Each structure stands twice: as C-alpha cells, then as structure tokens.
Amino acid sequence: MIVIVDYNMGNVASVANMLSRIGVEEAVLSRDPQDILRASKIILPGVGAFDRGVEHLDRYGLRGPLNGRVLEEGVPVLGICLGMQLLTEASSEGSRPGLGWIPGHTRRFSFGSGSALKVPHMGWNYVQSKRPNPLVSGAEKNRYYFVHSYYVAPARPEHVVATAQYGIEFACAVGHDNVWGVQFHPEKSHRFGMSLLKNFVDL
C-alpha cells in the first residue's frame, strides 16, 4: 500500500489521481499514523510554507511514525515540492526544524533588483540528470512543471540526482538510500510526471 501523507498542505488528491492513471490500485490519502506503519511506500507532497508544513506533521503526530518507517525500516519515500523541502534540516523561510533526512537547507531564490527573473519560479523547465538513479531513469531532456520560491541546497553533492536552471543551477531532485525528493510537480507534468511516478512505484 502506498500512503500519500495528507497533512493538510494541499495537492494530495492530484497525486492520488495520477497514481490511479498509471494503474496503482492500492494508494490511500491518510494522516493516520497506523496507515503509515503499514505502508510499503510513502509520498509526502505539499504546497505552502515550510514552518506550517512542519507544524502540521507534528500536530498530527506523524514525525515519529515517519522517522521510524523511513530511517529505521527503510521504506521508500518521495517528497514533492514542499515535501522535498521538508526532507532538509531547516529553511530560510522559517525557524522550525525539518525532518533532516537529506542533510542541507532550503533557501529562497534571490536575483537582485536588476534581474528580469521573477520569484516564484513558475512554469515548465527541463531537468538535467547528475548521476544514475532509478527515480529519474529516462528523464533526460524531459520537462516538468515547477511552482516554488525556495529550493533545496543539499550539503552533500552526491545527494543531488538532477538539477534545473533558473538564474542558478539548483537541485530539483535529490536522493539518498531510500529517500527521494523532487521540487517539481510530477502530478502536473503529464506523461513526464507519470513516468517518474511509475519509476517510484517500481522501485
């Protein structure tokens, strides 16, 4: 059973719909810790502010079960957008500690007053694979849909799976052992997103 963590931070239904489109029958939206304890894979989606996301995970008593399943039992997890940012230790957006599964921090785009680039980074963008990884297999030259003002800066270069360009080169996919994260929205990225989610399901 794949559990899509519904911690009241948006876009969970669209992730469930995309999983249904690729033929996944056992996927549930849940914030019940007991469901997380039974999950074979976990998806942590989300849109919104970092501190609010952390607050909701703690309010629903999810941090402990998630840590146990992911860190101790090795259950595969995929963070999407805010979910990827929550994998880090902290964010310049707030003061609460993240999950810390990917060493590093989440930072805001900053281009200076003379730049024509707008924040948030919004729209379609290409990704560049940085190392072989089953999550992004076949993703070279694929386009994905982004909406974000913050990006993940991993502390260890080997955790960067893929990058994109928006004023700077930034990590748009990370991976370490059984933990993966993508900054873009596979559930809004049509066939490219379907392919990536299928890769996760098939891990």
> What is the set of active-site residues?
81, 185, 187
Comparing CA positions, the residue from 108, 96, 80 lying closest to residue 179 is 80
Radius of gyration of the chain from its Cα atoms, rounded to whole angstroms = 16
CB 171 within 8 A of CB 183: yes
Cβ neighbours of 121 (radius 10 Å): 22
CB 86 within 8 A of CB 62: no
CA distance 182 to 173: 4
At residue 42, what are phi and psi to the nearest 5 degrees? -130, 135
CA distance 183 to 170: 10
CA distance 128 to 166: 13
Kindly give, in sequence order, each residue whose CB lies less than 8 Å from that of residue 27, ignoring residues fewer than 6 positions away. Answer: 1, 2, 3, 4, 16, 19, 20
Residue 147 pairs in a beta bridge with 122
